[in-house]
Amino acid sequence: MSVCPIDTGRYGREPLKKIFTEEGRIERLLKVEATIAKTHAEIGIIPKEAAQEIEKKASLKYVKIERIKEIEKEIHHETMAMVLALAEQCGKYGGYVHLGLTSSDALDTALAIQIKDALKIIEGKLEKLILKLVEKALKYKSLPMIGRTHGQHAIPITLGFKFALFASEFHRHYERLQEIKSRILVGKISGATGTFAALGKKGILIQKRTLEKLGLGEPLITTQIIQRDRHAELIFLLALIGTSLDKLATEIRNLQRTEISEVSEPFNKQQIGSSTMPQKRNPTKSERITSLSRLLRSMVYPSLENIVTWHERDLTNSANERFTVPESFILLDEMLTEMIEIIEKIKVNKEKIKENLHLTKGLVMSERIMMALTKKGMGRQEAHQTLRKIALKSVNENKEFRITLLQDKEIKKKLTRKEIDELLNPETYTGLAEKVIERTIQAINNSLNKKRGEGLGEADAILFKRL
């Protein structure tokens, strides 16, 4: 009976979940055993026939999970149970299985392979999300909307500016992901305390060749395990990406509020928002991302604790890593997949955006008026104080900002009615927003090393050519 919602199928996508299944883990453990045997044979430590037989039998076709569990029940050692189950299948060559290794050589190296495979999926989805955000940034780069600080109307931005900001943030995560690979995608074949004692004088060469075959980097030094600062950095990065997804989801949720109603996540015809209120269109997808992000962030703490082990190793990291690593990847993959769909199908209410832009009856243009007054000779502080008084009067008397401006003697000395009308148009006060959007997108494009659409799909190539 399944308890975890990942196991029930509620959360998690199959390609990534498969990497961290019991089968996926054992397949990679067997791959490590086969690869080390192949290296031993190349160097002349074991017969080539032995390596060939081990490589042939190192699969779930021959090594059954049921048999591993059966052996483990007797000997109470998970890795040795796998070794014995493989050795059984290799007949007379079984004695060459796991030669010179300790359990963590296989376990940590297999974990590195899992992480490598999982990062590839996360990387692809992260890039896809960035491109979706870039697409929306370009589409809405000229659509003025109100900017908000402290939850209050500030001055205009464009909707595209908002999308470009998030594209830039996720692109930084993409860069962090590239940087982390050299530190986290490493294995180890160095024995019980990391000294290569059981592997002999060619131990370093054996490790180098084995890890090269597995597509992993080689650490300069380890104990019995790969040091867990590497894994802590990985989990922190996954949580960091998840937190930015939470930030984006929260922005969408706020903009979907009934009172604002500027954008909303997709809602299909059959979807039900509430079991009792038929009119509801709740932002449940974005809320789910926020909820899962909170769980993902909780994985950081045990990962930091795992850095501290006794001497050359203990098992205090082992049990919780069976949760933290798979679940962090699975949760983030779920969140990325959900957000890609949200951004791709997001609904934009241009009428409401325009309505909200004018909601304060011109008050949001006070900065622009202030700057115009300084150009007419009024000091900046005096202009600020004058406009503050006029703005408060507009609010207190519930009048349009334009009317109170025209009623003020000092303002009439500096600005004509025509100038005031022009200055109060929020749609012409977005500064260099469009230029900043284009600069940001071009920088992202350059960083991905995909100028002129190289390596991109046709749609994405066209997207970047618009710049």
For 416-445, write each residue's pLDDT tens digit. 999 999 999 999 999 999 999 999 999 999
- Tokens matching residue 378: 């009024």
Query: Where do we find the tokens 């017969």?
Result: 47
Distance CA 245, CA 263 (A): 17
Look at residue 9 in the predicted model and tell me its pLDDT: 84
Q: Which numeric CATH code is attached to 5-96?
A: 1.10.275.10
Do 103-269+280-356 and 363-423 have matching folds? no
What pLDDT is attached to residue 274? 65
Is residue 423 within 8 A of residue 364, CB to CB? The reply is no
CATH annotation of 363-423? 1.10.40.30
Q: How much is the CA Rg of the chain, to the nearest whole Å?
A: 30
Residues in Cβ contact with 420 at an 8 Å cutoff, skipping those fewer than 6 apart: 369, 402, 405, 406, 411
Q: What is the pLDDT of residue 8?
A: 82
- Whether the CB-CB separation of 118 and 19 falls below 8 Å is answered with yes
CA distance 183 to 161: 34
Alpha-carbon span 169 to 236, nearest angstrom: 16
Q: Give me the pLDDT at residue 452, please.
A: 40
Which stretches in the chain have pLDDT values below 70? 272-275, 279, 449-467
List the chain domain ranges: 5-96, 103-269+280-356, 363-423
Residue 5's pLDDT is 85
User: What long-range pairs does 148-153 form, CB within 8 A, spacing at least 24?
Assistant: 153/356, 153/359, 153/360, 153/363, 153/364
Find all residues with CB under 8 Å of 252, minimum gap 6, and list them: 263, 264, 265, 283, 286, 342, 346
SS (H, E, C) the chain: CCCCHHHHCCCCCHHHHHHCCHHHHHHHHHHHHHHHHHHHHHHCCCCHHHHHHHHHHCCCCCCCHHHHHHHHHHHCCHHHHHHHHHHHHCHHHHHHCCCCCCHHHHHHHHHHHHHHHHHHHHHHHHHHHHHHHHHHHHHCCCCEEEEEECCEEEEEEEHHHHHHHHHHHHHHHHHHHHHHHHHHCECCCCCCCCCCHHHHHHHHHHHHHHHHHHCCECCCCCCCCCCCHHHHHHHHHHHHHHHHHHHHHHHHHHHCCCCCCCEECCCCCCCCCCCCCCCCCCCHHHHHHHHHHHHHHCCHHHHHHCCCCCCCCCCCCHHHHHHHHHHHHHHHHHHHHHHHHHHHCCEECHHHHHHHHCCCCCHHHHHHHHHHHHHCCCCHHHHHHHHHHHHHHHHHHCCCHHHHHHHCHHHHHHCCHHHHHHHCCHHHCCCCHHHHHHHHHHHHHHHCCCHHHCCCCHHHHHHHHCC
> In 10 A of CB 193, how many CB atoms?
15
pLDDT for 20-44, tens place per residue?
999 999 999 999 999 999 999 999 9
Contact partners, residue 274, CB within 8 Å, separation at least 6 = 280, 282
Give me the residue label for tokens 């989805």: 125
Q: Could you tell me the pTM of the whole model?
A: 0.93
Task: Please give the positions annotated as active site.
Answer: 150, 274
Residue range 103-269+280-356 forms a domain whose CATH class is mainly alpha
